[in-house]
Structure 1
């Protein structure tokens, strides 16, 4: 009876499971996440007030770790990947796969294919408007793979329902970012968390409007579901 009670998850406690996680590299955030890190095989949503507020630096520790041996897919990012920032962040730019779809439908298809075939250690997808059925497909695809998946969306999407088990709203704050965990497996997080990002020089971002990395570029096929994307 005692063993059974210990295995019961209570809504007042952070969920603990056998699912694999990786530390975010930010102890204050790890302490608020189930199993103490980013969940693998799950759709994680980052809801941003605007692009370039530090969301990529938030992911820097895990991207540096994964890119050492695995491919990181950047699908439809708002700006160009910046090679010098990659190197200064110890991210292996040779393992970055920059995918430039021609439409949102192609971007979602590319993300599903990357998850389905397990070709990447992590996938980061940027989208503005995502239909509920597309979110469900992404979530289901994530559950069948050993890949980490982040979906970056506008802050306005926080009001929409989502199957994602982890949703975090990010806002800029002096010296770092404010992270408001709006959904997690556990009790509601009452207050936003301040995450210091003090080691990033002003204006030094992984994604840049004016600079392009020699990361591998992929243009997805015009019609989702057609031939495999070609490297260019």
Structure 2
């Protein structure tokens, strides 16, 4: 009997270590997760474990081409708290200030450019863990398991959200993050699939009519007048 008890204790040790991993979840956690941040798409909220975007952690979005709608998908996360910052790290495009100003206070927006890959990851990790950058947007060509884990831990320490945009070619890689999505444009909108989520299951693809919400249309400018000179 003593031998059997010792064997059971030895078996429980590796099980306990598995339960502490960030990339595994228990079925009972589904009802324990706090409410998330509404996405602006009620159908999508119903498929997310927190009924919305997570309040902290890493959200990976796999895109075919940068600038193909990923910011519109996550626009409900683009407004940080009054005393917090929104940080963009090496975006593939120049943010259009007049449009962004209709969604957030530009004095709370930071944009870092011309950083090498090591500097990008360092800046993201420091900002997430600081407690002052509530949202960090990061565009990368690749991300290792150890790098994604460091970002996840930094976001949890700072109670912040990292939005990491990666190419579709990395879909088969497994990263210990809270939420992983695939976004592909279509003629009638965008197709979104939840590939992985903590506290929930992967979901079938769904179509989303991505459009600016709250960004507002820019005022029309007066028509230009052509003046004919003496030349």
Q: What does the per-residue CA deviation read over 1:208-232, in whole Å, with 9 as the maximum and x for residues that have no partner?
A: xxxxxxxxxxxxxxxxxxxxxxxxx
Alignment of 1:157-176 (within 5 A): 157-176=170-189
Is the radius of gyration larger for structure 1 or structure 2?
Answer: 2
Q: What does the per-residue CA deviation read over 1:79-115, in whole Å, with 9 as the maximum and x for residues that have no partner?
A: 1111022134x22222110012521110000001001
**Would you identify which runs of 4 or more consecutive aligned residues in structure 1 move more than 6 Å?**
none
Give the 3 Å change call, closer, same or farther, for CA 163–153 of structure 1 in structure 2. same
| Matching of residue 32 in structure 1 with residue 76 in structure 2 | no
Flag the structure with higher strand content: 1
Whole-Å separation in 2 of the counterparts to 1:198 and 1:113: 32
Alignment of 1:114-129 (within 5 A): 114-129=127-142
Whole-Å separation in 2 of the counterparts to 1:86 and 1:174: 25
Q: What does the per-residue CA deviation read over 1:7-65, in whole Å, with 9 as the maximum and x for residues that have no partner?
A: x9638xx92334452111211111111111111221110110111211111122221x3
| Matching of residue 10 in structure 1 with residue 27 in structure 2 | yes
Q: Which residue of 2 aligns with 1:85?
A: 99
Give the 3 Å change call, closer, same or farther, for CA 15–174 of structure 1 in structure 2. farther
Residue 155 of structure 2 is aligned with which of 142, 150, 153? 142
TM-score with structure 2 setting the length? 0.74
Deviation at 1:198, TM superposition (A): 4.2
Flag the structure with higher helix content: 2
Q: Secondary structure at the match of 1:134?
A: helix
Asked if the contact 1:70–1:121 (Cα under 8 Å) also holds between the matched residues in 2, the reply is yes
TM-score with structure 1 setting the length? 0.74
Gaps of 5+ in 1: 1-7, 205-232
Whole-Å separation in 1 of the counterparts to 2:35 and 2:133: 16
| Matching of residue 66 in structure 1 with residue 74 in structure 2 | no
Give the 3 Å change call, closer, same or farther, for CA 107–101 of structure 1 in structure 2. farther
Q: What does the per-residue CA deviation read over 1:146-195, in whole Å, with 9 as the maximum and x for residues that have no partner?
A: 11211111111111110012100000023431111111132331x21111
Q: Secondary structure at the match of 1:110?
A: helix
Gaps of 5+ in 2: 1-24, 218-231
Whole-Å separation in 2 of the counterparts to 1:36 and 1:82: 31
Cα root mean square deviation, aligned: 2.3
Larger RCO (CA within 8 A; separation ≥ 6) = 1
